[in-house]
Amino acid sequence: MGFLPPFIFQLFLLLTASFPSATVPLGGNAYQTSGTMLEPVSGEGISSWSHIDTEYAIYFYLDKGVKVTMALNAQPQQARAILAARIGDKEQEFTLKPGQTSVDLGTWDLGPGYQCLHLTAVDREGSHYGHFTDLLITTQEEVSIHYVKDNEQNRYYWGRRGPSVHLRYEVPENRSFKWFYSEMTVPEGQDPIGSYFMANGFGEGYFGIQVNSPTERRILFSVWSPYQTDNPNEIPEDERIRMVRKGIDVYTGEFGNEGSGGQSYLRYPWKAGVTYRFLNSVEPDGKGNTVYTAYFYDPEIEEWLLIASFSRPKTDTWYSRPHSFLENFNPLYGHVGRKVLYQNQWIGDEHGNWHPIGTATFTGDDIARRAYRLDFAGGAEGQRFFLQNGGFFHPHTEIGTAHTIPLPLNNPQVSMEALP
């Protein structure tokens, strides 16, 4: 296939300037989807493409079906490369010639929803298949195009991680709560690397399970310091999280980058398709501190395991803001979908009375609120709540909507005195 010389392509853009168009930066909207070698997308786009089996995918969303003209922006290189572009069943080859800075991909009839433009290698004369920076989309129809548009506040990174989503639970007012109990199931096939399925959140931290690598999974419990920083080394001594006690084989230390504080985790081979039980408590100690404790029920041995107990200074609170969330913390896997189910959730007050939870409000992070990514959902699914993100699915759930499930009937059968 031929290509448009740079000056002709710029003239084409000028003549069609009145029509909807988009410059989709690959740094925030493309992924390496195949290949024996890791050649990931950087903030500059596709820049290290040297292996023929490496493949990439560029994602964007259309609110209706439309005919579009597309082109790729590229950094000039000295040798010719032949590549192929594919959406659905349509595929066509294109040639990147020496010195070329834009290459025409032709006209495509696209349906509504998410589009995945696959790029594959065919042949090359030099050492690379090209350094591509942006996908240019132009149409002569009115259409809304959604994608990660800018890199302010590192949004390419957050966008490639995908939208984080949350459920904020409704609980009775004017009570002091100490306990939160819940049960969580990750469906089979919905547990890719980078997933954090957070079961029991509170105003000062979170408690859930992670997929850290092909061979390692963790139960993670963290409490933020009252001192606001992303660097734990900056926390003053009198505002550091203190470990009160921890369970067998549990690691404890500090964390940073998304706030800072005390972290604990147990390496544990949890499985998709199995329902796990979580219990944690928040209680002021009467001395200006608050103690946070987390327990995980191991169904293999049928016992509650202590994860850790932390003391947070300059804090006097009971359990606040019970919530759950779903996120991907690895930007290499933001194009892969994940889902989690929540059920049988209860909030326990300081007097030992359990109150069932049946209503939750669905919310999302900055990437979701800006509609840079629309592959997110959450709410009620039968007898359970659910959260879902990644994988570029549609339709999505409106942020701020309330969802209700039948109230659970059987309160938690937990002997508090027998907890480790």
Which stretches of the chain score pLDDT less than 70? Answer: 1-20, 256, 258-259
List the chain domain ranges: 6-147, 163-418
Under 8 Å between Cβ of 342 and 117: no
Under 8 Å between Cβ of 357 and 346: yes
CATH superfamily of 6-147: Galactose-binding domain-like (2.60.120.260)
C-alpha distances (whole Å) from 135 to each of 127, 143, 187, 289 are: 23, 17, 35, 53
pLDDT of residue 6: 54
Convert the pLDDT of each residue in 289-302 to its tens digit. 999 999 999 999 99
Token pair listed for 371: 């509609």
pLDDT of residue 18: 46
Under 8 Å between Cβ of 108 and 92: no
pLDDT of residue 258: 66
Convert the pLDDT of each residue in 37-51 to its tens digit. 999 999 999 999 999
pLDDT of residue 328: 98
pLDDT of residue 36: 94
* Rounded Cα gap, residues 236 and 249, in angstroms: 28
pLDDT of residue 19: 57
SS3 152: helix
Under 8 Å between Cβ of 96 and 83: yes
3-state secondary structure string, 185-214?
A: ECCCCCCCCCEEEEEEEECCEEEEEEECCC
Report pTM: 0.91
Token pair listed for 171: 């609980």
| Number of C-beta neighbours around residue 367 at 10 A | 23
SS3 141: coil
Token pair listed for 283: 């209680």
pLDDT of residue 298: 97
Nearest Cα neighbor of 334 from 294, 391, 419 is 391
Which residue blocks in 266-396 are alpha helix, DSSP H? 366-369
pLDDT of residue 16: 44
pLDDT of residue 406: 97
* Rounded Cα gap, residues 103 and 6, in angstroms: 8
pLDDT of residue 20: 62
